[in-house]
Amino acid sequence: MSTRLDAFTRMARLRVAEEELANLYLRDKIMSFVHFYVGQEAVAVGVSDALKEGDHALGNHRSHGHYLAKGGGLRRMVCELLGKAEGSSHGKGGSMHMIDRSVGFTGSTPILGSITAIAAGSAFAQQYTKNGGVTVAYIGDGASEEGGVYETMNIAALYKLPLLIVIENNLYSVNSKLLDRRSPGYSVEGVVKGIGLAYEKANGNDYDDVHAKAKVLLEGVREGKPAVLECIVYRHMAHSAPIFDDAQGYREEDVLEKRLSEDCLKRMKDALLAEGETEERLQEITDTARANALAEIDYALKAPYPDAATLHTDLYA
């Protein structure tokens, strides 16, 4: 299997899993907020493909893709969303509090930006124990404006922590656009380099671009040069609902037609077809992923809830 076909397969798995989770959500089976990652798959897969065993990743409120791309199990994730005992957080965390140390997914938390400080702690532990690992923290463009993120970048630069912060710039924080929140001259690159970190900007719809830039930055990160990778990307669905929300009118440039024409899976598919892959083969990959997602959802629906006796375990209090 070519590397590209392999990446397509992994991206398609994330996409169809969330499409089926969206259907489940619409059937009122998921009793918590869910923020869909649809459209942003090239970022999680492109970055994760540049990681090594022993590296850590941490995420935010929109982390299904980060978890699965890091090697997380779909069964454990769906069980978590449904509050089942087999979930990655034993059914006590839900979509926004996934953690699975067995695959190096060191946790996700929805308090915007806070994960960068926790990730810096993870990177410090890796540096202190000289285990050769690095830590990646995924945050959104809105989260990147939180004060703690700047403080974390400063500490990372000062201590030369093996930390990569991936900013997924999908143009909005909920429905508020960049220019409602930043002066026209605001430069992420200027801020990041000014603090002393390396910086690259990638087209988040393009797996090859994300992967190549993540790889270069991570080589530096492993040698004590912390970095930020900003990926410009589209969120296809509404902020936290499985619907296309174009009718709300807040999207000016990134209208549905544009998003779909630049979509990461479409781009990858076009490249694969140009390389000689067939429509049938790609469809088969997608169908297999869908059948698997449906089977895991079916399993999770029937799986047991946590035992009442475990109510007070896994708590930080």
Ligand X SMILES: Cc1ncc(C[n+]2csc(CCOP(=O)(O)OP(=O)(O)O)c2C)c(N)n1
Please report, as ranges, the residues that interact with Mg ion according to CB under 5 A.
140-142, 170, 172
127 contributes a contact to ligand X by CB under 6 A: no
Q: How far is CA 167 from CA 1, 43, 89, in A?
A: 30, 10, 25
Query: Should residue 141 be labelled a site residue for ligand X when binding is judged by CB under 6 A?
Result: yes
Task: Say how far apart CA 214 and CA 217 lie, in whole Å.
Answer: 5
Residue 78 CB, nearest approach to Mg ion (Å): 25
Of ligand X, Mg ion, none, which one sits near residue 61, judging by CB under 5 to 8 A according to partner kind? ligand X
Answer yes or no whether residue 13 interacts with ligand X by CB under 6 A: no
Which range touches ligand X (CB under 6 A), out of 80-88, 109-117, 154-162, 260-268? 109-117
213 near ligand X, judged by CB under 6 A: no
90 is a site residue for ligand X (CB under 6 A)? no
170 near ligand X (CB under 6 A): yes
Binding ligand X (rule: CB under 6 A), the pick from 158, 174, 291, 295 is 174
Of the residues 173, 192, 267, 297, which one makes contact with ligand X according to CB under 6 A: 173
- β-strands 163-169, 172-173: how paired? unpaired
62 scored as a contact of ligand X (CB under 6 A): yes
Q: Which residues bind ligand X (CB under 6 A)?
A: 35, 61-62, 110-112, 140-143, 170, 172-174, 235, 239
